[in-house]
Amino acid sequence: MTNTDPAPAAAKKAPARKTAAKKAPAQQAAQPVADAPATLEVRNPGTGALVGTVPVTSADEVAAKVRELRLFQPEWEAIGPDGRKEWLLKFQDWLIDNTDTLADVVQSETGKPRVDSLIDPAFATDLVGYYARRAAKFLADDHPSPHSPLARVKKLTTVYKPYPVVGVITPWNFPLAMPALDVIPALAAGAAVLLKPSEVTPLSALEMARGWAEIGAPPVFAVVTGAGATGGAVVEHTDYIQFTGSTATGRKIAVACAERMVPYSLELGGKDPAIVLADADLDRAAHGIAFGGMFNSGQVCISVERVYVEAPVYDEFVAKLTANVKALRQGIDGRESKHDVGALANENQTNIVQRHVDEAVAAGAKVLTGGKRAGFGTAFEPTVLVDVDHTMSCITEETFGPTLPVLKVADEAEAVRLANDSIYGLSASVWTGDKDRGERIARQLNAGAVNINDVFSNLFNFALPMGGWGQSGVGARWGGANGVRKYCRQQAITAPMLPTQDKELFWYPYSMPKLLFALGAMRAAGARGLRRIDLPAVLKLKGDNK
């Protein structure tokens, strides 16, 4: 999904935005990585206009940046969650105060409608508040209950100590929100963070770095720009990798992390099914699925990519869905909101969408609306496909575009079977008039999240984990305390609760009676029934009492 296609030559005449990259001296000195240009051009995919130029950060510069972050991280950790809260809430203020500018930048590098562009800063703002305020509770030491009465002689403590430098690598679909969603919890955990945004949309991430510097926060957050090689260097030098992007790149990162024995969390592709049952509110389902499939031109990892409809309501649902999709207004917004759907992120993306539609049609599918390029930039018309099946690429591969293939199913069982027939398992939705039925079906679906009578709502609930099953990922983001604890190493500490003797029963020199007594006590505490009493050992003790 990476843009390699040049924009139309005419667009090159458009004046470039001055990028925030100019404010980062380390990045100004960028040396080209092998076979890569020293700078990257950023274009509005809706208009082709050049909107910025960023340096390609070399592997050596990435290493130097990580060394610098390492120097400042201990102090960031030492000020504790309450100290960090102050900075994070200042950053939240900055996000709010700069919302319009941030939306401008998001819009300029994505070609999204205004409303979609405003979602990025709003989402980031919400998340900062959640983790800034709760990190102290989430990171507090745990004192778990001992597993056995014998262990009660110890005070048990679990400590959460951050990985010094977390590397965050992000894609282009939400160029501000995606970085923020992972950078903020990692900073809240006490880690320093090195962010490598997508080469397609690096400007919004650089805005984040500008904001962090403007509020005068400690230099524990930095952004490096470039493509895969720069990302590879981030994986080489940091202590934990949080990655969002394609399954193919995720796999490479997992291998690289395994070589270094560095932990990682991956959020990858999806092919999210929606199941519409005959008892559903069809108006709500048709509105929700139109939104779930077309929001951000379908470039959402959890967008609806397949729809299974029970036969009795199939025709009615398809008619309503098609009408909703047809009614969408597509175009390029200014600061005023005039459109629902904009452009795709890059030409590669448009080509994938076109291929999925063409291959489906060639194999017998019908286009009810859309099916072709929208006539400006990379934009593709919102599309509804019917008469599709599970051999077609529009069902087996992630499309990441504005297409909704709809299939008729005989019943709930067939819907569940087909929904689970995918290598992916990110999220799903079930549409039904019976919430209990919805929950029952949810538990049968192989997906990291299921929304009943809704789309995306798991995404806006940071108390829930967001993670994919199967080829959709490893680990999860958020999920309340886990969202910050994942960026920490756990340390177990034991301390005596009672006055200690000069030696423990197990210590040298070995004594069989003492050992058998200790082992017998463990068995008595943990086993059940007569097995609590270790008779052979007791007899041995009698006969062997030295």
Q: Does 297 bind ligand ADP (CB under 6 A)?
A: no
Angle at which helices 512-526 and 535-543 cross, to 10°? 160
Q: Does 353 bind ligand ADP (CB under 6 A)?
A: no
Active site amino acids: 267
What lies within 8 Å, CB to CB, of 214 at 6+ separation is 94
Nearer to ligand ADP, 127 or 235 (CB): 235
Residue 274 pairs with which residues in a beta bridge? 307, 429
Residues in region 143-182 near ligand ADP by CB under 6 A: 169-172
Q: Does 260 bind ligand ADP (CB under 6 A)?
A: no
In the complex, least distance from residue 314 CB atom to ligand ADP, rounded to whole angstroms: 33
Q: Considering only residues 246, 453, 457, 482, which one is a binding residue for ligand ADP as defined by CB under 6 A?
A: 246
Q: Does 104 bind ligand ADP (CB under 6 A)?
A: no
Nearer to ligand ADP, 254 or 323 (CB): 254
In the complex, least distance from residue 257 CB atom to ligand ADP, rounded to whole angstroms: 10
In the complex, least distance from residue 199 CB atom to ligand ADP, rounded to whole angstroms: 5
In the complex, least distance from residue 324 CB atom to ligand ADP, rounded to whole angstroms: 27
Separation between Cα atoms, residue 309 and residue 453, nearest integer Å: 14
In the complex, least distance from residue 382 CB atom to ligand ADP, rounded to whole angstroms: 21
Q: Does 271 bind ligand ADP (CB under 6 A)?
A: no
Nearer to ligand ADP, 117 or 198 (CB): 198
User: CA-CA-CA-CA torsion for 396, 401, 404, 405, nearest 10 degrees?
Assistant: -30
Residues in region 186-245 near ligand ADP by CB under 6 A: 196, 198-199, 227-228, 231-232, 235, 245
What lies within 8 Å, CB to CB, of 102 at 6+ separation is 95, 120, 121, 176, 204, 207
Both tokens of 226, joined, read 């470039």
Backbone angles phi, psi at 373, to 5 degrees: -65, 150
Q: Does 393 bind ligand ADP (CB under 6 A)?
A: no
Q: Does 479 bind ligand ADP (CB under 6 A)?
A: no
Q: Does 540 bind ligand ADP (CB under 6 A)?
A: no
SS3 content of the chain, % helix, strand, coil (to 5): 45, 20, 35
Nearer to ligand ADP, 65 or 408 (CB): 65
Angle at which helices 177-189 and 203-214 cross, to 10°? 40
Nearer to ligand ADP, 199 or 381 (CB): 199
Separation between Cα atoms, residue 28 and residue 242, nearest integer Å: 26
User: What does DSSP say about strands 192-196 and 165-169: parallel, antiparallel, or unpaired?
Assistant: parallel
In the complex, least distance from residue 295 CB atom to ligand ADP, rounded to whole angstroms: 17
Q: Does 253 bind ligand ADP (CB under 6 A)?
A: yes
Q: Does 114 bind ligand ADP (CB under 6 A)?
A: no
Helix or strand (DSSP H, E) at 97: helix 80-97
Residues in region 2-61 near ligand ADP by CB under 6 A: 2
Q: Give the ranges where 226-281 is alpha helix by DSSP (H).
A: 228-237, 247-260
**Residue 46 C-beta-side C-alpha neighbours within 13 Å:** 21
Backbone angles phi, psi at 51, to 5 degrees: -115, -5
Q: Does 351 bind ligand ADP (CB under 6 A)?
A: no
Q: Does 298 bind ligand ADP (CB under 6 A)?
A: no
Q: Are 128 and 156 in contact (CB under 8 A)?
A: no
Residues in region 500-519 near ligand ADP by CB under 6 A: none
Nearer to ligand ADP, 231 or 465 (CB): 231
Total interface residues for ligand ADP by CB under 6 A: 19
Q: Does 388 bind ligand ADP (CB under 6 A)?
A: no
Q: Considering only residues 125, 249, 296, 451, which one is a binding residue for ligand ADP as defined by CB under 6 A?
A: 249
Nearer to ligand ADP, 190 or 467 (CB): 467
Residue 55 pairs with which residues in a beta bridge? 39
Burial 157-192 (b: 16+ CB within 10 A, else e): eeebebbbbbbbbbbbbbbbbbbbbbbbbbbbbbbb
Q: Are 333 and 342 in contact (CB under 8 A)?
A: yes
Binding site for ligand ADP (CB under 6 A): 1-2, 169-172, 196, 198-199, 227-228, 231-232, 235, 245-246, 249, 252-253
